[in-house]
Amino acid sequence: MKRRVLYGGLAAGLMAVMAPFLPAYPLTVLTQALIAAMLAMSLDLLLGYTGLPSLGHAAYFGVGAYAVAILATERQVGFAGCLVAGIVVATVAAALFGVLAIRATGTYFLMITLALGMVVWGLAFRWVSLTKGDNGISGVPRPDLSLTWSLWGALPFFYFTLLGALIVWVFLTTLVASPFGLGLEGIRESESRMRALGYNVWLHKYLAFVISGTVAGFAGVFWAYYNGFVSPVDVQLVTSVEALLMVALGGPGTLVGPAVGAVIIVFLKNFVSVYTKRWLLILGAVYIGAILFAPRGLFGALGRGRR
Amino acid sequence: MSGEFWIAQSFNGISYGALLFLLASGLSLIFGVMRIVNLAHGSYFMLGGYIGLSVVWRTGSFATALVAGAVGVGLIGLGMERLFLRRLSGQTLGQVLMTIGFALIFQDLALLIWGGDPYTIPAPALLQGVVRTGTFSFPTYRIFIVLVAFVIGILLWLALEWTRAGAMIRAAVDDAEMARGVGVNVPVISLAVFALGACLAALGGVIGGAFLGVYPGADFEVLPYAFVVVIVGGLGSLPGAMVGSLLVGLLDNFGKALFPELSYFTLFAPMALILALRPTGLFGRV
C-alpha cells in the first residue's frame, strides 16, 4: 500500500518535472492520457474492486462532459458551476441507473449496463435540441481561473489535469483502503459470505456504482475542457469498452495498473493513427492479444495484483 | 393518427421485429449455451450483408447471396469459437474484450474491402412492390421478412423440442455441467450453436441489406437492439427471443414515429421496467 503511494507520487512528480521540456504534441497526448486514466481508475473501483464489469461506463463520463459543454457554450457558466454541474449530473445518472443495474449479477449486469449506456448514447444522438445530435457541441471554452497562466496553453492545462488526476487517485486509493473498500473486495470474492457476515451487500455495490459514476463524470468535465468538443462518440459503446480494455490491460484491482493501461492505449492510439489508417485493426489485435497473453493485466501479471 | 397509421406502423414494427428475431435468436442461444456476451454479433449481421452484396453484384441471385452470406459468416463464427473463445470459457471480461476486438477488426476489414459508402442489396423483382388488401398496401418485401422469420422460428423450435440435438442443446442451456456429466458433448454443441447463431445473424444481414441497407456502423447499430431483445425475452429462450423481437420491433417503431427525440428512451425504458419486475427477462429461467 505505502509502496504504491510512493510509486504513484513519484510518477506524478516525474511527469510534473518533465512536462516543461516536452514538445507540445506529446504534452497534449499526455494530458489526454491523464483524463483517460481518471476514467479507467473510476471503472477499476467497479470492475477491479467490486467485481462488477460495467459495459456502459462512458455514459457517466459523457454525461459530465455534455453538462459542461452545454452550460459553458449556451449559458456561459464559469468553471465552478460547470464542475459542480458535471459531477452532479453524472452522480444522478449513476444513482438512477444503479438501482436497475445492481439488481443483476454477472453477465446480466454487463448487458444491463450496456443497454443503459445505449440510452445515454441514444439521447445524445437523437435529442438534437439539447445535444445538437451527431454534430456534437463544439467551441467549449477553457475555464478562466483568473490565474497568471491561461489554461489555453498546453502546459498550464496539463498541470490542471495532473491535479485532477492526482485528486482522483488519492481519493480512490483512500477509498479502497477504507473499511468500505475492503468490504467491496470481500463482495468481489464472495457475496454470500459477506451477506452472512452482516454486510449490506446491495448498499455497498450501489455506493460503489454511484461513486464510480461520480468520478467518471469528474473525468468527463476535464474531457470537455480539453477537447473543446463533445459528441455522441464520447458516450458510445466503443468508448465504454475502451475503458474496460485500459483496466484489463493494466490489471484490475490495482488502480495504478488501469492508469498505466490508459496511458498506453492513448499513446498507442495517437501515434499509430499518425502512421496508418488501419488503427481499428491494430486496436482489435491489442484487445485479443491482451486477453491471450496478459489475462491478468500488466500489473496483475507482475504479481502485484489481487492474490 | 388514424387507424391507418396504427395498422401501417404496427406492420412496420412487426416486420422489423422479424428481422431482429433472426439476429437475436442466435445471440440468445449462444448466450444460453456458452454464457458468452458476444459483442461481435452485430458484425455477423454486417458482414452477412456485405458478403451478400458482393454475391448479388457477381451473380445477380438473391438466393445465392443468402446462402453465401450465411455460410461465409458461419465459417467465421466457427473459427472464432474454436480457436479463440473456447479457451476463455467462464471468463466474462475476457470474452467481452475478445469479441469486441473481433468486432473492431471486422469493422475495419469491411471498411478496407467495401469502402465507406452505403449500399442497398437489390431485392429480387418478385419481392418488390406492394400487396394491397382493401385500403391498405403492404410492401411485399416486409411480408417476405415476416415469413422468413416465421419459418425459421418454427424450424428452430421443432429442432430444439423434437430432435436429439435439440434436447442436448436444451440440456446444455439448463446446466452445462450436468449435461456433460450425462454424456452430452458440450464443446461440440457450443461450436454448433455458435456457428448457427452467426449464420442466422448473417441471414438477417443479407435480408436486412435490402431493406435497411449495408453500411459501415451497421454492426454497432443493430447490436443494442439484439441485446435488448435477449434481455427482455430472457437469455437462452427461443420463445423469449420471439416475443422480445416483436415487442422491441413495435416499441422502436412507435417510439420513432411518436416521440422522435426520445426514441431510444421509449425502447429502453420498458426494458428497464421489465427487468425491475423480472430480472431474468420474460421467459428466462436461471
> Which residues on B lie below 8 Å from A104 (Cβ)?
275, 279
In chain A, the residue whose alpha carbon lies closest to the alpha carbon of B80 is A288
**pLDDT surpasses 90 at A192:** no
CA pair distance A98, A114, nearest whole angstrom: 12
Give the residue-averaged pLDDT of A65-77: 87
A70 in a domain, yes or no?
yes
Q: Cell 469491411 appears where?
A: B110
Secondary structure of chain A as H, E, C letters: CHHHHHHHHHHHHHHHHHHHHCCHHHHHHHHHHHHHHHHHHHHHHHHHHCCCCCCCCHHHHHHHHHHHHHHHHHCCCCHHHHHHHHHHHHHHHHHHHHHHHCCCCHHHHHHHHHHHHHHHHHHHHHCHHHHCHHHCEECCCCCCCCCCCCCCCHHHHHHHHHHHHHHHHHHHHHHHHCHHHHHHHHHHHCHHHHHHCCCCHHHHHHHHHHHHHHHHHHHHHHHHHHHCEECHHHHCHHHHHHHHHHHHHHCCCCCHHHHHHHHHHHHHHHHHHHHCCCHHHHHHHHHHHHHHHCCCCHHHHCCCCCC
Which of B37, B88, B261 comes nearest A110 by C-beta?
B37
Pick the closest to residue B33 from B101, B69, B81, B93 (CA basis). B81
What is the rounded (10 degree) CA torsion for B175, B181, B185, B191? Answer: 30
Q: What percent of chain A has pLDDT over 90?
A: 23
Per-residue confidence band for A2, with pLDDT thresholds at 50, 70 and 90: low
A17 in a domain, yes or no?
no
Let me know: does A108 contact B232? Beta carbons within 8 Å.
no
In which element (H, E) is residue B243 found? helix B238-258
Q: Does B84 touch chain A (CB under 8 A)?
A: yes
In A121-150, the residues whose Cβ lies within 8 Å of chain B are 121-123, 125-129
- Indicate yes or no: CB of A111 within 8 angstroms of CB of B98: no
Q: Each residue of A21-59: pLDDT tens digit? A: 778 788 888 999 999 999 999 999 998 888 888 888 999
A215 in a domain, yes or no?
yes
**Backbone φ and ψ of A152, nearest 5°:** -70, -20
The whole-number pLDDT of residue B152 equals 93
Q: Each residue of A261-305: pLDDT tens digit? A: 999 989 888 888 788 778 888 888 888 888 888 777 777 755 544
The whole-number pLDDT of residue A305 equals 41
Let me know: does B233 contact B243? Beta carbons within 8 Å.
yes
Q: Does A118 touch chain B (CB under 8 A)?
A: yes
Between A148 and A240, the more confident residue is A240
Secondary structure of B151-209 as H, E, C letters: HHHHHHHHHHHHCHHHHHHHHHHHCHHHHHHCCCCHHHHHHHHHHHHHHHHHHHHHHHH
Q: Does B88 touch chain A (CB under 8 A)?
A: yes
> Which residues on B lie below 8 Å from A110 (Cβ)?
37, 92, 96
In which element (H, E) is residue B138 found? strand B136-139
A285 in a domain, yes or no?
no
The whole-number pLDDT of residue B9 equals 85
Which of B100, B112, B272 comes nearest A287 by C-beta?
B100
- Indicate yes or no: CB of B275 within 8 angstroms of CB of A236: no
The whole-number pLDDT of residue B1 equals 57
- Indicate yes or no: CB of A53 within 8 angstroms of CB of B100: no
Three-class SS state of B121: coil
Q: Cell 497526448 appears where?
A: A29
**Residue A138: what residue type?**
S
A64 in a domain, yes or no?
yes
Comparing A7-21, A30-44, A81-95, which segment has the lowest mean pLDDT?
A: A7-21
Which of A248, A280, A286 comes nearest B108 by C-beta?
A280
CA pair distance B284, A25, nearest whole angstrom: 52
> Which residues on A lie below 8 Å from B265 (Cβ)?
119, 122-123
**Would you state the cell numbers that stand for residue B103, as one nine-digit string?**
468486432
A265 in a domain, yes or no?
no
- Residue numbers of the domain that contains A149: 29-234
Boundaries of every domain in chain B: 26-216, 217-286
A8 in a domain, yes or no?
no
A305 in a domain, yes or no?
no
Let me know: does B106 contact B47? Beta carbons within 8 Å.
yes
Between B113 and A23, the more confident residue is B113
The whole-number pLDDT of residue A272 equals 83
Give the residue-averaged pLDDT of B136-162: 90
Give the residue-averaged pLDDT of A63-76: 88
**Would you state the cell numbers that stand for residue A84, as one nine-digit string?**
459542480
**Would you state the cell numbers that stand for residue A50, as one nine-digit string?**
467490486
**Would you state the cell numbers that stand for residue B209, as one nine-digit string?**
441489406
Pick the closest to residue B108 from B157, B199, B162, B43 (CA basis). B43
Q: Does A96 touch chain B (CB under 8 A)?
A: no
Tell me the CA distances in angstroms from A87 to A62, A171, A217, one per residue in order.
11, 15, 5
Q: Does B211 touch chain A (CB under 8 A)?
A: no
- Indicate yes or no: CB of B96 within 8 angstroms of CB of A241: yes
What residues are paired with B214 via a beta bridge? Answer: B119
**Chain A interface, mutation test: which of B96, B111, B282, most A Cβ atoms within 10 Å?**
B96
The whole-number pLDDT of residue B286 equals 56
What is the rounded (10 degree) CA torsion for A33, A38, A39, A41? Answer: 120
**Chain B interface, mutation test: which of A102, A111, A127, A269, most B Cβ atoms within 10 Å?**
A111
In which element (H, E) is residue B132 found? strand B130-133
Per-residue confidence band for A307, with pLDDT thresholds at 50, 70 and 90: very low
Per-residue confidence band for B232, with pLDDT thresholds at 50, 70 and 90: confident
Q: Each residue of A126-165: pLDDT tens digit? A: 787 788 877 888 877 887 776 666 767 777 888 888 889 9
**Residue A299, min C-alpha distance to chain B (Å):** 16
- Indicate yes or no: CB of A122 within 8 angstroms of CB of B263: yes
**Residue B197, min C-alpha distance to chain A (Å):** 18
Give the residue-averaged pLDDT of A244-256: 87
> Which residues on B lie below 8 Å from A233 (Cβ)?
none
DSSP 8-state assignment for residue B40:
T
**Would you state the cell numbers that stand for residue A131, as one nine-digit string?**
445535444
In chain B, the residue whose alpha carbon lies closest to the alpha carbon of A104 is B279
DSSP 8-state assignment for residue B84:
I
**pLDDT surpasses 70 at B285:** no
> Which residues on B lie below 8 Å from A244 (Cβ)?
93, 96-97
Distance of CA B253 to the CA centre of its chain: 17
In B140-199, the residues whose Cβ lies within 8 Å of chain A are none
Q: Does A290 touch chain B (CB under 8 A)?
A: yes
Give the residue-averaged pLDDT of B267-276: 76
**pLDDT surpasses 80 at B102:** yes
The whole-number pLDDT of residue A304 equals 45
Tell me the CA distances in angstroms from B35 to A102, A110, B62, B91, B95, one per residue in order.
19, 12, 34, 10, 10
Q: Each residue of B114-140: pLDDT tens digit? A: 988 899 888 888 888 888 877 777 888
Domain count, chain A: 1
